[in-house]
Amino acid sequence: MSTYLGVDIGGTNVCYGISNADGEILYENSFKTDSFKTADELVSKIHSDLKRKQPLAGIGIGAPSVNERTQCIEFAPNLNWGDIVPIQKIFQEKFDIETVAVNDANAAAIGEKTYGDAPEMKNFGVITLGTGIGLGLYINNEVVIGANGLAGELGHSIIRPDGRECKCGNLGCLETYIAKEGIVRTAKEKLEFSSGGSLLNNISPSELSPTEIFKAARKEDPVALEVVDLVTKDLAFAISNLVNILDLECVFLTGGIAKNGNLLKRKTEKHLKTLILPNLRDKSFIKISSINDKNSGVLGAIASIHSKVGILLS
């Protein structure tokens, strides 16, 4: 039985797993991303962990800011491994097997196409909501990588020209408002001017997270509801631009923040209705990825190696 390694490198966690050709996860593990000062340290750790496992047929890597033409991570704002990281080369030389690196959001889109709800869709997007914000796009049944292999940086589209400073160096990027740190920052700003009666005041600032904020919003906490409304409005704004420009069949949401499920979807859809063109309003919709709770990043990376080298997909 052939097995494949999928590696999902995020700004907070690195998750990896071994699967068979059907996408069944046989083994998985994870580490905190900041546990490693270099990509070489990470690859050595994964190699050491897997050396007693059966031989692998290929490796798929999903990571932020991957240039799919050079197979390098380039200037990733949420990683601290240097400006240019030859991630595919490091893995391939260490494991000595076929290796492919793709943008993590593209991996999520390929995973949705292979294992999720989009096998028949030809025009759809997958937005990854986590430490950063990414976008994987299928247009006319092909993944869009762009002229320089860097397409899909939705998180660095600017929504407020004089807004918050982003790690990429620009001001007002979407990521600074709806990614993990951006949501927490908005909550802290709102708490400064609240009367002190919010459920969020009972949480230590260092423990405040999007999960806790959404949890409080479900309990009708006014501050949390205000934060969620702002986040979903900005997300809807970004989705409306994608739909109005590209006429997408569907936009899937995945990643840690997407695990807030129905509340995130419902609030975003409410704002989206006022932003999508009337002739598209009933033709595009939002879905929470059905593989979001099944380590979708790892499955997407595995689907990417299948797709790129033609192992599975026909």
Sign of the C-alpha dihedral computed for residues 188, 235, 142 and 284 taken in this order: positive
- In this predicted structure, what is the pLDDT of residue 85? 97
64 plus 205 within the same structural domain: no
For residues 250 and 121, is the Cβ–Cβ distance under 8 A? yes
174 and 156, same structural domain?
Answer: yes
pLDDT score at 84: 96
Is pLDDT at 71 greater than 50 in this prediction?
yes
In this structure, the answer to whether residues 157 and 257 fall within a common structural domain is: yes
Give the number of residues written for the chain.
314
Residue 125 lies in a domain: yes
Q: What pLDDT, on a 0 to 100 scale, did the predictor assign at position 314?
A: 33
Domain assignment present for residue 314? The answer is: no
Max Cα distance, the chain (Å): 61
CATH of the domain at 36: 3.30.420.40
My answer on whether 137 and 193 are in the same domain is yes
Q: Domain span at residue 125?
A: 119-288
Residue 99 has pLDDT above 70, yes or no: yes
Residues 6+ apart with CB under 8 A from 142: none
Number of domain units in the chain = 2
What's the rounded mean pLDDT across residues 165-190?
Answer: 96
- Is residue 93 predicted with pLDDT exceeding 90? yes
Give residue-wise pLDDT tens across range 134-175: 999 999 999 999 998 899 999 999 999 999 999 999 999 999
For residue 246, tell me if it sits in a domain: yes
**Which tens digits make up the pLDDT trace of 238-284?**
999 999 999 999 999 999 999 998 999 999 999 999 999 999 988 87
Question: What is the 3-state composition of the chain as percent helix, strand, coil, each rounded to the nearest 5?
Answer: 40, 20, 40
Residue 313 pLDDT > 60: no
Helices 222-246 and 261-272 cross at an angle (nearest 10°) of: 60
SS3 assignment, position 251: strand
The mean-pLDDT minimum among 7-11, 22-26, 132-136, 165-169 falls in 22-26
Query: Which carries the bigger pLDDT value, residue 314 or residue 161?
Result: 161
